[in-house]
Structure 1
Amino acid sequence: MRLLRTVAFTLLVLLGLGACSGSDDAGTADSSGGDDGAVEQAADADGAEGGGDGEESSREVVTTGSLTLVAADPSPAMDEVVRLVEGVGGRVEERTEQARTEGSEAYGWLTVRVPAAELTATVDAVEELGEVTDLSISSEDVTRRGRDLDARIAALQTSTERLLTLMAEAESNEALLAAEGALSQRQSELESLQSERAYLSEQVAMSSLHITVSADRPAQLEAGGFLGGLETGWNALVTFASGVLVVLGAVLPWLLVLGVPLALVAVVARRRRRATAKAAPAG
């Protein structure tokens, strides 16, 4: 009789696992449908009171943005951006700065997270720090994904509670071990889904903003007219002078090696001619 009850309990556990698997696949759609119905009922109730604003407020949207800020000095501008972000309850996730070098201007990057409701105000505040270019804001509606995760989490929670009940009623070690194995698997899946749901909710609540900060560049005159001719002439003069210096640098070693002895020979020859010229009248 005890063996019969053990076999029957094991069958109940297996049936429970089958029902749990079914609840993850088919039950997800039912739960999503139930969530949709609940949301629709809430929207209808809110619509009767406030014109249907409840449906819009229940939607989940992930918003991201990017912009380029041109400022006179990037480093203080980045400090000011950080102050603005922290002032609205946001945070800085990444900050990179590059100092000015001989061949490039100073620049930097910022990746910040701000409350979704404060994104527009933050962008407006950043625009007051300099010239904002290449502004881009994008949104992704993740309402369906969030509801699907909620439905799967609810199904797994129900499955976990059912397995806990079966474990409490187990009359043998075999049945208890089977229920514990199933419960461990369900709890692992539940924790994974809850972590994914928490990440999605955080993405909805906090928007990402990528900011590139660059320095002002001095205005450059276009070639043409008097200024263009002056620039061309100056460049030609610099090129000629550079060429002369190159030739002089190449010839100078030869002048030192050959010119000095030749100069000595010329001096000696001139003295001899003078001596010969003085001796001839005397004779």
Structure 2
Amino acid sequence: MVGEEGVERQVVSTASISLTSRDPISVADRAVDVVLDVNGHVDRRTDTPTEDSRSGSAQLVLRVPSAVLDETLPELKALGELVRSSLNQTDVTTQSADLDARIAALQTGVDRLLSLMSQATTTADLIDLESALSERQTELDGLVAQRDSLKDLVDYAAVEMFITTPGEVAGAAPGDFWGGVIVGFQSMIAFFGGLLVVLGVLLPWLLPLGLLAILVAWLVRRKRTPGAPPGPTGHPQQEVPPRPPLPTEAGRTAGHEGTATDRNPV
């Protein structure tokens, strides 16, 4: 592409195509053939064959020469029933020109350092020049890699394709006893499978929370002040004062004391 000022535009194109087909793998094979016929290539491909309990699908990342992208996209869309498609184009002319300028400046610096190294007269000067040259060369190699990657994106558009089987109508309710039994078992298995997933998510949290609860209970028991065992009402037991003597016991005690006095006069 050429811009208004005669500068060739650098454009990165990315496309996305979603198709449905009864045989996604076969459609993916034909899509690869279309791209190879225009000198493109396949970056990535993932196939999922159709099985009893799983629908087939295919996913591809194709690289198509930008010069023939407009002619190739309609061929790819016609391979199945089109569900969705998109095309994005990004102008990277300024970025490409900036990389070229920086690479040219660094290359000039590298050539200058190589010339100075050939004229170095001391070992210290040679070591300093080699260190500076190593830094410049590393930076130059990185910029060259960026430029090459950008050039590849400009030259080859990326087309991502998703191919699936047509959506199936939801099955009707079971029409007999055994059909209901099968549906019931399937729902039960799905329920317990989901429950196991939830337990698996909660388990890493339950272990530390349980340990924390045990630690808190131990600290509370340790800080509790020891005392007398609680009484029937829950309060610590108190000493019961001695029972006062009954009148008969008091007289008896006095009589004994008097007799003892008589027997032992002072």
User: CA-atom RMSD, angstroms?
Assistant: 2.6
**Corresponding residue for 2:146?**
196
**Corresponding residue for 2:197?**
none
**Corresponding residue for 1:136?**
86
Which amino acid is the alignment partner of residue 86 of structure 1?
L
Task: Give the TM-score normalised by the residue count of structure 2.
Answer: 0.62
Are positions 1:54 and 2:39 aligned together? Answer: no
Q: 1:111 to 1:221 in 2, by over 3 A?
A: closer
Q: Distance in 2 between matches of 1:122 and 1:137?
A: 13
Q: Distance in 1 between matches of 2:122 and 2:179?
A: 102
What is the count of residue pairs matched by the alignment? 181
Q: Distance in 1 between matches of 2:174 and 2:83?
A: 38
Q: Distance in 2 between matches of 1:86 and 1:115?
A: 10
Are positions 1:172 and 2:122 aligned together? Answer: yes
**Corresponding residue for 2:160?**
210
**Corresponding residue for 1:149?**
99
Are positions 1:82 and 2:82 aligned together? Answer: no
Shift of 1:131: 1.3
Instruction: Specify which of 214, 235, 238 is matched with residue 176 of structure 2.
Output: 238
Any unmatched runs of 5+ in structure 2?
A: 185-266
Q: Distance in 2 between matches of 1:206 and 1:171?
A: 50
Q: Distance in 2 between matches of 1:94 and 1:213?
A: 14
Which amino acid is the alignment partner of residue 113 of structure 2?
L
Q: Distance in 2 between matches of 1:86 and 1:131?
A: 22
**Corresponding residue for 2:133?**
183
Shift of 1:172: 1.3
**Corresponding residue for 1:116?**
66
Which amino acid is the alignment partner of residue 6 of structure 2?
G
Which amino acid is the alignment partner of residue 193 of structure 1?
L
> Could you report, residue by residue, the CA deviation over 1:72-112 in whole angstroms, capped at 9, with x for unpaired residues?
21111111000001011111111111111223321110111
Q: Distance in 1 between matches of 2:135 and 2:158?
A: 35
Which amino acid is the alignment partner of residue 165 of structure 1?
S
Q: 1:108 to 1:200 in 2, by over 3 A?
A: same
Which amino acid is the alignment partner of residue 111 of structure 1?
V
Which amino acid is the alignment partner of residue 126 of structure 1?
L
* Greater percentage in helix: 1
Q: 1:241 to 1:212 in 2, by over 3 A?
A: closer
8 A Cα contact 2:15 2:86, kept in partner: yes
Shift of 1:239: 5.2
Q: 1:120 to 1:133 in 2, by over 3 A?
A: farther
Shift of 1:68: 0.7
- Local SS of the residue matching 2:176: helix
Shift of 1:221: 9.5
Shift of 1:241: 8.0
- Local SS of the residue matching 1:136: strand
Instruction: Specify which of 37, 45, 55 is matched with residue 105 of structure 1.
Output: 55
Shift of 1:216: 3.2
Runs of 4+ with >6 A deviation: none
Shift of 1:187: 1.0
> Could you report, residue by residue, the CA deviation over 1:203-231 in whole angstroms, capped at 9, with x for unpaired residues?
1101111101112346x499xxxxxxxx7
Task: Give the TM-score normalised by the residue count of structure 1.
Answer: 0.58
Q: 1:109 to 1:54 in 2, by over 3 A?
A: same
Which amino acid is the alignment partner of residue 141 of structure 2?
E
